[in-house]
């Protein structure tokens, strides 16, 4: 594992900010690209000397599968997935007050409108796992998952952390929760119409989440 480039695909509102704080502790500043935009990272890496390129050990950010193509070395991925309905609810209430583009665009936007407006709210998890492809599918996601050391489950964060520590030999997994959406309602407080619309717009995410959760539970039993 030590010679592989370790890539953390940070899917928004899955506990990724908290997890990333743990992940990046294992690396020096010059060993990791931490949430660096794709274009800037590609440009920076291409300008490094060959010996400096070998120093890069880890990538984290809101990237998609396929980012390993920028680097000529063996690689492995990991990520977290969350119940798609819970994730979209969290996204809406988090982004409404996120400074800049989202806060300005969503200030008076009803939840029902948001579900159709934001690409992140429409099968956003499977899109990142499928990568930059014109057509997402469960089959493509499963194919790409062969390159993932683990896909954890947000609702089982501590258990996911234990498995990740074992796989990547992390020493310190203590954490304080980051970027928690404090002003969101519980799922039971959201209207049935909105829940149904989220489910319709996230059918593939729901299928993939169930597949991932089943695999995760099996791994836990073998741990």
Residue (of 88, 89, 92, 95) closest to 186 by Cα position: 89
Confidence of residue 1 (pLDDT cuts 50, 70, 90): low
Q: What is the pLDDT of residues 4-16, one digit of tens each?
A: 999 999 999 999 9
pLDDT for 8 equals 98
Please identify which residue in the block is written with the tokens 């956003």.
124
pTM over cut 0.85 = yes
Domain ranges of the chain: 5-222
Q: 5-222 sits in which CATH class? A: alpha beta
Q: What is the pLDDT of residues 30-68, one digit of tens each?
A: 999 999 999 999 999 999 999 999 999 999 999 999 999
H-type alpha helices, the chain: 16-23, 38-46, 50-53, 84-95, 101-106, 111-117, 124-130, 138-144, 157-168, 192-201, 203-222
Q: What is the pLDDT of residues 99-129, one digit of tens each?
A: 999 989 999 999 999 999 999 999 999 999 9
């Amino acid at each position: 594992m030590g010679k592989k480039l370790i890539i953390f695909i940070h899917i928004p509102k899955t506990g990724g900010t908290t997890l990333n704080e743990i992940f990046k502790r294992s690396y020096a500043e010059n060993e990791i690209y931490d949430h660096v935009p794709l274009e800037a990272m590609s440009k920076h890496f291409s300008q490094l000397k060959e010996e400096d390129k070998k120093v890069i050990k880890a990538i984290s950010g809101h990237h998609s599968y396929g980012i390993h193509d920028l680097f000529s070395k063996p690689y492995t991925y990991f990520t977290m997935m969350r119940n798609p309905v819970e994730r979209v609810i969290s996204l809406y209430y988090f982004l409404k007050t996120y400074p800049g583009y989202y806060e300005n665009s969503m200030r008076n936007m009803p939840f029902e409108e948001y579900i159709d407006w934001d690409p992140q709210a429409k099968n956003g998890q499977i899109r990142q796992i499928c990568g930059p492809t014109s057509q997402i599918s469960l089959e493509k996601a499963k194919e790409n998952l062969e390159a993932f050391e683990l896909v954890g489950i947000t609702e089982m964060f501590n258990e996911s952390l234990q498995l990740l520590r074992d796989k990547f030999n992390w020493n310190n997994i203590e954490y304080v929760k980051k970027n928690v959406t404090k002003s969101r309602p519980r799922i039971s407080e959201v209207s049935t119409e909105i829940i149904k619309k989220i489910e319709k717009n996230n059918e593939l995410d729901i299928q993939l989440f169930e597949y991932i959760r089943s695999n995760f539970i099996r791994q836990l039993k073998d741990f």
